Amino acid sequence: MTQRVLTTESGAPVADNQNSATAGVGGPILLQDQHLLEKLARFNRERIPERVVHARGSGAYGYFEVTDDVTGFTRADFLSAVGKRTETFIRFSTVADSLGGADAVRDPRGFALKFYTDEGNYDLVGNNTPVFFIKDPIKFPDFIHSQKRDPFTGRQEPDNVWDFWAHAPEATHQVTWLMGDRGIPASYRHMNGYGSHTYQWTNAEGEAFFVKYHFKTNQGVRSLSSEQAAELAGRDGNSHQTDLLQAIERGVHPSWTLYVQVMPAGEAADYRFNPFDLTKVWPHSDYPLQRVGRLVLDRNPDNVFAEVEQAAFSPNNFVPGIGPSPDKMLQGRLFAYADAHRYRLGVNHTQLPVNAPRTAVVDNYGRDGLHATRNGARYDKNYEPNSYAGPAQTGAALSAPLAIHGWTGTHEAPAHTKDDDFFQAGELYRLMSEDEKGRLVANIAGGLSQVTRDDVIEKNLAHFHAADADYGKRVEEAVRALRED
């Protein structure tokens, strides 16, 4: 094999990569040592700002294959025929901790999926839970601040965590999920994924439907107890990354079956729950799961930084036949995600290989900016309309229009007949076995008992009492017992 020659960034061969140039033997280093200066300068710039949330992640490539006909609901081309396959990239992540955190912690998991379709990239950015803590994006920065490290102590503080939840009764449903048995997945392969938000599908006839995505793991759901997770996190902080990497490397390809719940758009206004409230689910008895296809992961990234850390997902990356709903949290994310990537990676982050479309042709008037690689040919114009055969609009909307009415202003979400902050949390609690209830209560009490303010504890206890009398009674007794020890 021919020995490759080490070069500088400009392509010049490097004579010595072991010793810096000095003024004589043992003398000071010379400023003219271009190779040394270049290496140190590049080293200083190797990292980019980590994500504010979902900083710690793992990723893999794969494909999505359609197994069932859903053309009656959407005209999306990648869902147009049974057997059709589309290349995908997925990023799993924890939410609250930094890039240096452990994988085996009690935290929601990000489930962000990029479909490289023939009509452009479609990003589905969800979690491993079907609901979330809040329903309005204006509260998101406050929520995350309460869950991240305290500015003074530099650690996550139970006072902050539970104080926010005390003032956010709508979080009771997601808190019940998080503190329950599925709060710490055993691995990324052994958890479900959800679009969480409500999205819109539009078929070829222009009929609109609202949908929720459910990716059910074919490996089976497996979770860790708090004790198991603490031991695993202490032994191997990279446990979930290692598991995913090694499974794919040895040919064990994780897979999920995608189901959707489908609601005709006309039924949304009178549904018993607000169908666009991220703190609520649609009971399967109302809208059963309908199978769509399967997701298979079969290839690891070659470079974690280039393909996982620089992967950029945005829920406003839609394709024809799929669009947004009036879900307020989704509406906020349509801006926030793309803006985060422009900050972290630059305005041309969509040109990075992991983010660039595979088969669709990108043809627009975006030019220049940091790291631009697509600036057009000599006679291409950077304005529109023009007389030079530049790309033109199609006039065809990606999805059906949403009806708007009423006055502008800051409004609470419209109330539906069964809308409250506690009903579904109570329903979830009552579905649990006695053993599951016991672990849920212990997990909640373990954190809530550390709160120093009695009024914050009382506000949170009131939420659990409102969800279910037995739920509230058991949490209250468990908290009291721990505080008396």
Active-site positions read 54, 127
Q: Is 462 left (phi over 0), alpha (psi -120 to 50) or beta?
A: alpha
The H-or-E segment that residue 215 falls in is strand 208-217
The H-or-E segment that residue 65 falls in is strand 57-66
Contact indicator for 133, 171 with CB cutoff of 8 Å: yes
User: What span, in angstroms and rounded, lies between the C-alpha atoms of 461 and 208?
Assistant: 41
User: What span, in angstroms and rounded, lies between the C-alpha atoms of 212 and 200?
Assistant: 9
Contact indicator for 88, 66 with CB cutoff of 8 Å: no
Residue with tokens 């959407």: 74
User: What span, in angstroms and rounded, lies between the C-alpha atoms of 348 and 305?
Assistant: 17
| Short-list 311, 318, 255, CA closest to 64 | 255
User: What span, in angstroms and rounded, lies between the C-alpha atoms of 159 and 198?
Assistant: 32
- What is the separation of C-alpha 166 from the centre of its chain, rounded to a whole number of angstroms? 25
User: What span, in angstroms and rounded, lies between the C-alpha atoms of 477 and 484?
Assistant: 11
Give 415's contacts (C-beta < 8 A, 6+ positions apart). Answer: 274
User: What span, in angstroms and rounded, lies between the C-alpha atoms of 327 and 275?
Assistant: 8
User: What span, in angstroms and rounded, lies between the C-alpha atoms of 258 and 269?
Assistant: 26
